[in-house]
Amino acid sequence: MDNTSIMSFLDIIVVLAGAYVLYSWYLLITKKEIKQGVLIPKDVEPKRCKDIDGFVKYMSPRTLVLGIMALISGGIGIYQDTVKLIHPIAYWSFFVAFLLVLVWFGYGSKKALKDYF
């Protein structure tokens, strides 16, 4: 297994994770269902949420942005691994942007856990 196939595998995982995050966002805004492991830790019960509407309002934009960024970042990575037409600076810039969104989501998730549970 060479470096390209490992990177392609990781990019596929990022795309699938992005799809799951978008599914969690969909459940959050339509059914007000909080997915454990994505929006809150597995040891926290969603029933303990003090203000579900506030939690949805606070976390839904963050969840949507993270899901979209993961899909795009993974898609760009797969494209880069197979076709190699993207300039490396653009590829790495988008990867860094994805990591910044991930940190922003993690910070917001921790703050939401503190404020709403």
17, two tokens: 């994770």
- Note the residue count of the chain: 117
- pTM for the model stands at 0.91
The confidence score (pLDDT) of residue 20 equals 98
Local structure of 32: helix, strand or coil:
coil
- Check: CB of residue 106 under 8 Å from CB of residue 39: no
For the chain, how many structural domains are there in total?
1
Conformational region of residue 32, where left means phi above 0, alpha means psi within -120 to 50, and beta covers everything else:
left
- Check: CB of residue 55 under 8 Å from CB of residue 114: no
Q: In which residue ranges of the chain is pLDDT below 70?
A: 1-4
Q: Which domain holds residue 87?
A: 3-116
- How far is the C-alpha of 55 from the C-alpha of 114, rounded, in Å? 11
